[in-house]
Amino acid sequence: MDTATEPETEQVVFVTEDGVPTGETGPKLASHHEHTRLHLAFSCYVLRRRDNALLITQRALDKKVWPGVWTNSVCGHPAPGESLDDAVRRRAAYEIGLPSLSELHCVLPKYRYRTPPFQGIVENEFCPVFAAWADTDPEPNPAEVGGWRWISWADYQELLNDRTADVSYWAKDQYSQLKVIDPFVGL
């Protein structure tokens, strides 16, 4: 898969409530609107091995969906026929400039969410959540990422609980499930 795929040409894979592909796809940008159909996505939390710091990113201000919000390390959509692992690695290379994630594994295989409307757009995703390690700093694509930082898991929890912080809906929602497990055991 080409790591330089432009969002205008990307396709999303529509799925059933159980995450099974329906065989239908749609253009990524045109498929996100006030009546977004359920589609396949992923989220990934990347930790730095030397100190277990978590990489968080701020979405670029010109993103169509949730611009400028802070969120987990990398999110995206698998292409039709692409495995989730391959999609995570492709987007990590394209979005955050980390082509070599180690020990990638799925920690929430059945995570699903639907956001309230945000600037006329509803996210509606069957979105397995992954964890991985990186040993280098990211080199983000400015079209995707407006800012980034490494923080402790405790500081991440404080950020998510800060009512004044601009944090993605899915990061807060995923944390409610991640906090009851240790997503990085076995990495």
CA dist., res. 2 & res. 168, Å (int): 27
Pair type for strands 53-59 and 145-151: antiparallel
103 counts as catalytic: no
- Annotation: binding site for Mg(2+): 95
Alpha-carbon radius of gyration of the chain: 15
Query: Comparing C-alpha atoms, which of 39, 51, 65, 57 is closest to residue 122?
Result: 65
CA dist., res. 31 & res. 18, Å (int): 19
Amino acid at 42: F
Write down the catalytic residue from 10, 17, 125, 158: 125
CA dist., res. 143 & res. 145, Å (int): 6
Using CA atoms of 157, 44, 26, 125 in order, give the dihedral in degrees to the nearest 10.
Answer: -40
75 counts as catalytic: yes
- Annotation: binding site: 32, 39, 77, 95, 123, 125
Pair type for strands 53-59 and 70-71: antiparallel
Question: Which stretch of DSSP H or E encloses residue 89?
Answer: helix 84-96
Write down the catalytic residue from 6, 34, 75, 82: 75
- Annotation: binding site for Mn(2+): 32, 39, 77, 123, 125
CA dist., res. 171 & res. 70, Å (int): 8
Among all residues, which ones are annotated catalytic? Answer: 75, 125
